[in-house]
Amino acid sequence: MSNFENHKRFMLLAQKYSLSNLGHTFPNPSVGCYIVDYKKNKKGKIVSFGKTGKNGRPHAEEVALKKAGKKAKGCTMYVTLEPCNHKSKNLSCTNQIIKSEIKKIFIAKIDPDKRTNKKSIKKFINKKITVNLGLTKEITENTNRYFFQSIKKNRPYVKIKMAISKDKKIAWSDYSSKWISNSKSRKYSHKLRFLSQSILTSSKTILKDNPRFTIRKNNKIIKYIPIIIIDQNLKIPLKSKLLKNLDKKNIIIFTNKIGKKFNKLNLLGCKMIYTNKMNNEGRLDLKEIMKKIYSFKINDILVEAGGIFLSNLLKNKLVDEMHIFQAPFNIGPNGKPMIYPILSNFNINKLHFKEITKKNFGKDVYHHFLVKNN
């Protein structure tokens, strides 16, 4: 095995380990780290490893260094993202690495966070620590694309989840259908929720479907994540399933209406956000709302709503990824469409959809797109 192949092997182990906490580290990225000793073995002996903890702390490097202790001296570190340079309860990861007397460090991807960006690398070089950049960079970019894109765009990374018919309808004309997708598709949908930081929906979706938006496994609730509701005229019914057991949930409602209902929802435990920022069509300004959501340290959103809401997100170039579950039957011309180009007054052809996954869940076809906003 060549030196390159050996280094790649350990970096791939770090990448694989980072995946085991994916969906738990928000708002931080999920990072993996391995510390390897080459002093007595040319192929390297693993001394310790770590991954980002739940809710983003402790960092992967901190975990690995704590496990290694004094054994880290003279070793090589493999880490999937540039170690942090900003202050924390303990020393920054960069200063902890320097203090440990690590001899060499492989970093897959530079951290775009201004507090760290290339600063850690400069510190390592100044302290005579050998730095190698870019090995398995693409894996880090893919694993934590929500993190990199949210920093770049200064808003949350937005994913769409939607079930459609063969003729691209999301419901019958009277909304009589509860489910379009099959049980296998719905099971995967819960996995998408599990890997997301929050869910964004509209009051119309709550009125029509009365969803719970829970994350379930074997019909048991395993996780609650923040639910964000766009409710311009405050139409959400107080008896909605979503408003039950509010002590376990974090419900955020954006509205343009203040009154008794606003105060009631506030007393129930909902986080009420009044906004008078409107777009030219008289709707709440979604771009401004996204900025506000980002200020709450929410950088990853799964949207579960209807065609009008999706159309407005697309029009405002606020969609980064789409998960579409297509059933094998037609609903017909009177069904509710997936996209409303006339209402939203935009040309969907200006958006570039790159399909990165296509597979079957029973007779349903699952399409996973990345959206490039031109």
Instruction: Catalogue the E-assigned strands of 165-282.
Output: 169-171, 198-202, 215-217, 220-223, 227-230, 251-255, 271-274
Distance of alpha carbon 306 from alpha carbon 339, whole angstroms: 9
Main-chain phi, psi angles of 219, to 5 degrees: 65, 15
Distance of alpha carbon 132 from alpha carbon 135, whole angstroms: 8
The H or E element spanning position 371 is strand 364-373
Distance of alpha carbon 242 from alpha carbon 226, whole angstroms: 11
Main-chain phi, psi angles of 295, to 5 degrees: -70, -20
Give, in order, the Cα–Cα distances in Å from 218 to each of 187, 229, 280: 9, 27, 45
Residue 48: beta bridge partners?
35
Distance of alpha carbon 191 from alpha carbon 315, whole angstroms: 28
Q: Which residue has the tokens 């018919």?
A: 165
The answer to whether the beta carbons of residues 90 and 115 sit under 8 Å apart is: no
Q: What angle do CA 300, 305, 306 make, to 5 degrees?
A: 140
Distance of alpha carbon 24 from alpha carbon 14, whole angstroms: 17
Q: Which long-range contacts (CB under 8 A, 24 or more apart) does 280-286 make?
A: 283/232, 283/312, 284/230, 284/232, 284/254, 284/256, 286/230, 286/312, 286/313, 286/316, 286/318
**Residue 156 preceded by cis peptide, ω within 30:** no
Give the pairing of strands 336-337 and 169-171. antiparallel
Name the active-site residue from 61, 82, 304, 321: 61
| 61 included as an active-site residue | yes
- Any idea which residues carry the catalytic annotation? 61
